[in-house]
Amino acid sequence: MFFKRYQAPLLAIRDLPRWVKQIVLIVFDIFALSAALWMSFVLRYGSWRLPLSLDELGIVLTAPLIAIPVFIKAGLYRAVIRYLPERALWTVVQAMTIAAVCWVVFVFLVELAGRGVVPRSVPIIYWSLGIFVIAGSRFTAKQLLSPVADQRQKRPILIYGAGESGRQLASALRQQAKHLVLGFVDDNAKLFGRDVVGLRVYSPEFLPSLIQHYRIKEVILSMPLLSVRRRREIVAVLASQGVKIRTLPSVTDLVAGKYLVGQIKEIDIDDLLGRSSVPSEPELIRSMIEGRTIMVTGAGGSIGSELCRLIVKWRPQRLVLFEANEYALYNIERELSALPDSVVVPVLGSVTNAARVRQAIVQNGVKALFHAAAHKHVPLVETNAIEGVENNVMGTLTVCNIAFENGVENFVLISTDKAVRPTNVMGATKRWAEIIVRQKAFDAIEGGTTQKFCAVRFGNVLGSNGSVVPLFKEQIANGGPLTLTDPDMTRYFMSIHEAAELIVQAGALSEGGDVFLLDMGEPVLIKDLAENMIRLAGLTVRNEKNPDGDIEIIVTGKRLGEKMFEELFYDDANSSTTIHSKILRAKRSEERRPGTLEAITQLLTAIDAQNEQMVRKVLFDFIQRNADGNEP
């Protein structure tokens, strides 16, 4: 009832400009300390007489005049009263002690000048009353104003970065009713302790204490030019504190330097994994795409759709979307057709349907083809081996043959690190696909054509269909637990956009028969990935050390055909660099793989007979016979 009755005045006080509230506090402290000193004399002499002489008035007024500069230095006027931590009491005690000592020194000098005598007990009483009045007023105001803050749903936040972007962001957030900016954190030591747009700048070493004492719920990264390495370090520290982390987009994504609250986005897991970004080579992409008819198989999948988004930006003559899934094709076609000056041709069909593939290539005059269509989910392909082989191996053979017969100039197979020493059907089918592409490159060389067939091999893509990242996100959203097959399992990761750019550039670098390896950086422990994703969500991991945590991670055991770690190379020494630092070229075999046609015939026979055991045998026997350490 009290808060409801006085809600309007309290809101009016809360909404006053910061500098006005600071002046109000200073004026209050002057009167409060003067009254405290007068009360000290009253208690000492037992008389309620007001100080009337100039000497008495001078003695009383000098106390607050000495104390106010001390309070300013101690930061008592910088704190946000509604979020005043309990440790602020110690700051008041320290500041009041220094102020009282300074006043005693002043009084001693006055006494030496013969201008009066102050009893020795008065400074002690003044010190005690001063602490009571100053601390009591602050914490009383906190109690009165806190309900107001709750009603307005203010969320205490810090901004990491006190540069121009951070200042504009702070100004924008102040106009909203959802956030209360409590200060900046910055790496620049020159800014430590200074006020920027009325907010204090803190050193990063104070982050844990700031989060704890001010109950910070969110930190916004506002350093668009920050290096990837430093960004990863900052996000790791913040994630360990259990706060929500958001960030501003990169400088190139911001419009005219205006930093709007709506541009703040959730921190991505790739911000925590942190891969050093290398700018693309525009000429490589342009030579591959601009003015040419491009076809992408599997155009509705995660990799295929990202390739299509990239390709359409580089103004191809036409983009053919070849996809077996009707809904996926509908989505990507609708998205790309809405872009200006885009010519998009949707083709619904399977890569195993030779007539449909031929029609799409011939009717549109395809000059470059990116073959991304494949069944990629390891456990599903393992339990549906015949379908996986038919789609991944025979589908690749069909598309390769038709592309070669109809003069497609560039053919790029999207492969995987699971093709290296494969232990599962999916990896084995991709190894076969690489070999098929290499054999077709031999056909092009022997036929004297300028056609170039190559494969691009890389690891997991963040956010791709069937990958662990969206699975973990879904499990976190459902309250857990997160399922982990093995705590020691590692995987390579890269962003889906980076993968698409590198695939196109690798295709432009092809000399025919190449297997390109994308630099994936260091492998990531999946257990660390799971824990980091939980922390990025502002939650804690529930384990033996923290039984009251939010999300539990449970180990389910390795799935059928799953490897503990992946490899990008058969032999690291057999790779060479290219003009792009993130693209490596594997040493290739200079001869055809013996028995390839016979093995394909055996595989077709086993598929026609629906003999899964024979399919597996032919699939792996051929790879083992050709496991010489060289790429296809």
pLDDT at 22 over 70: yes
DSSP-derived letter for residue 631 is B
Q: Which of 192, 193, 190, 173 is nearest to 181 (CA)?
A: 173
* Average confidence (pLDDT) over 179-193: 82
* Average confidence (pLDDT) over 78-87: 64
At 252 the pLDDT is 43
How confident is the prediction for the chain on average, in pLDDT? 79
The CA distance from 211 to 199, in Å, is 16
* Average confidence (pLDDT) over 321-338: 94
Provide the pLDDT confidence category of residue 211 given band limits of 50, 70 and 90: confident
Specify whether the backbone of 510 is left (phi greater than 0), alpha (psi in -120 to 50) or beta.
beta
> In terms of pLDDT, which residue wins out, 172 or 68?
68
> In terms of pLDDT, which residue wins out, 544 or 242?
544
DSSP-derived letter for residue 267 is P
In the chain, helix, strand, coil percent, each to 5?
A: 50, 15, 35
At 576 the pLDDT is 74
Residue 87 contacts by C-beta under 8 Å, 6 or more apart in sequence?
A: 213
pLDDT of 607-632, one tens digit each?
999 999 999 999 998 888 866 555 66
For residue 197, the tally of other CB atoms under 10 A from its CB is 14
At 330 the pLDDT is 95
At 408 the pLDDT is 94
For residue 525, the tally of other CB atoms under 10 A from its CB is 15
pLDDT at 490 over 80: no
Q: In the chain, how many H helices and how many E strands? A: 23, 23
At 55 the pLDDT is 60
pLDDT at 278 over 70: no
- Full set of structural domains in the chain with CATH: 2-151 (no CATH), 155-267 (3.40.50.720), 282-461+492-519+566-625 (3.40.50.720)
The SS3 assignment for 185 reads strand
Q: Tell me which of 196-205, 301-310, 389-398, 583-592 is least confident.
A: 583-592
pLDDT at 4 over 50: no
> In terms of pLDDT, which residue wins out, 489 or 325?
325
Q: Which of 142, 162, 105, 122 is nearest to 41 (CA)?
A: 122
Entry pTM: 0.63
For residue 622, list its beta bridge partners: none
Q: Tell me which of 13-22, 137-146, 303-312 is least confident.
A: 13-22
pLDDT of 540-599, one tens digit each?
788 888 888 888 888 887 766 666 666 665 555 666 777 877 888 877 666 677 788 888
Provide the pLDDT confidence category of residue 436 given band limits of 50, 70 and 90: very high
pLDDT of 377-409, one tens digit each?
888 999 999 999 999 999 999 999 999 999 999
pLDDT of 348-378, one tens digit each?
999 999 999 999 999 999 999 999 999 988 8
pLDDT at 416 over 80: yes
